[in-house]
Structures are given as C-alpha cells and as structure tokens.
Amino acid sequence: MTTVLIVSKTKMANGICVGGINEQSGELIRLHNEHGGNLTIDAPYEIGDRWEMSVETAWNARKVPHIEDKQTIPIRKIENVGISGIIDYVKNHNLGNRLYVGSLNGTFDGCLQSRIYVTRDNVPRFSTQFWIPDKTLYHVVSFEKDYYIYQEFKIKYVGFLPTVSKIPAGAIVRLSLANWFDGKGAWSEERCYLQISGWYLPHSDVQNHISEIDLPF
C-alpha cells in the first residue's frame, strides 16, 4: 500500500484530473481509476487529503511528457492536512527537478522557450511540476475563463479552488501540461499548453494581506 497526498483537482471535458504525491517516494502522480480511466466528478478526493491506496503504473500509460498516470484503488482516507500540510511536504522533502524556483522559462526542463506551450521537437521529461515564481501573478478573466498573468504570459487556470486576485512571488504553484492538441488543424504542430492547476498559500495570504512570501528554501 502507498500513502498519497492529494495536491490538485482540475477540470476535464470527460471527468476530473486529480494530482497527488506518493509520500514514500516523492513521485508526482496523476490518479486514474482501477481500469486506467479518468476519474469521475464524484471521486472522493479533496485537496489536502492523505489516502492509503493501491498504486500501479497505468496499463495505458503515456509517453513523455505525460508520465504520471497511475491506476489507483482507494483503501481508506487517513486525514486531511489542508493547504498547510501540502506546503510542509513540499518544503521538507527533496522533490528534485519537480520543484523549480525562479522564472517561468526555467520550468519543464526549459522547454517552454518563452512560450506557454511545448511542441514535440522539445519535450520535457514530465508534465507536472511545482514552481516558486520570482514575480507575482495576477488574476484576469478572459472570455469567461480564468487566467493568471506572469510578465507577458497569460496562463489558464483549470483548478477547482476559488480564484485569488494574485499569487505572490515566493508562493508554491502547481503547473501542468495539457494533453496534445493541434488546434483542430489550425496549427502546423501539436502543442501541450501550460496550465495552473493550483497554488498553496498560508491562510492570511489567501485574504491578500501579504504581498510576497519568503519560503526557507
């Protein structure tokens, strides 16, 4: 059995995407059901939950960058540690290249190359990553969808948690790469677009009382 910390829930056209951390190995995973399919909207997971579960590489696991797919069978919910528990885990465990501190261009093995998507000629080794941004991100709404502005980049937010007006520099942000998409034939190549799937702020900062966060790492 494995203990999994649930760190994100995002919207999909045909279900939900739930992200977690294997607490024993520090591996970032994407939860699928026991048959390798997408989770349905009524899946029992909430952000901050710790679950005991069976975890195996999905039979239909994809190639890079989407390497995180796991078939899972939930056994029991242990507890919910909240946002503070996620912050504590990220701060106190070595996540290697799955945690990046600095500018957006350095995320995902540097494959974004001043864009908000990757292409098949420059593919990172993974599709989820924690990011400690060097600048504050600001919320905007465009065509009834939520985005966060980082410098000249507008990054779509796809999570379930309510938006905040800003994500301060030094906060922990979870990034993910969407599925390959060819723009319905409008583009000359397939792209994986960058998404924000969550962020982790102390309670006081959710109320926007703090302009920047100084994390000790």
Task: Return the pLDDT at 30.
Answer: 98
| 24 in any annotated domain | yes
Task: Return the pLDDT at 132.
Answer: 98
Contact status, residue 56 vs residue 81, Cβ threshold 8 Å: no
The verdict on 68 and 18 lying in the same domain is: yes
CATH number for the domain harbouring residue 31: 2.40.50
The verdict on 125 and 55 lying in the same domain is: no
The verdict on 128 and 182 lying in the same domain is: yes
Number of folded domains in the chain? 2
The verdict on 81 and 121 lying in the same domain is: no
The verdict on 106 and 192 lying in the same domain is: yes
Task: Walk along the chain (217 residues) and give the pLDDT tens digit of each residue.
Answer: 999 999 999 988 888 999 999 999 999 999 999 999 999 999 999 999 999 999 999 999 999 999 999 999 999 999 999 999 999 999 999 999 999 999 999 999 999 988 999 999 999 999 999 999 999 999 999 999 999 999 999 999 999 999 999 999 999 999 999 999 999 889 999 999 999 999 999 863 443 333 444 443 3
For the whole model, what pTM was predicted?
Answer: 0.91
The verdict on 124 and 183 lying in the same domain is: yes
The verdict on 136 and 79 lying in the same domain is: no
Contact status, residue 128 vs residue 95, Cβ threshold 8 Å: no
The verdict on 142 and 201 lying in the same domain is: yes
The verdict on 119 and 202 lying in the same domain is: yes
| 214 in any annotated domain | no
- The token duo for 128 is 């989820």
Who's near 76: CB < 8 A, 6+ residues apart? 51, 52
Task: Return the pLDDT at 203.
Answer: 67
Task: Return the pLDDT at 217.
Answer: 37
Q: Which of 65, 86, 107 is the last residue of a domain?
A: 86
Task: State which residues form the domain around 27.
Answer: 2-86
Q: Which of 61, 86, 111 is the last residue of a domain?
A: 86
Q: Cα(22)–Cα(4) distance, rounded to whole angstroms? A: 5
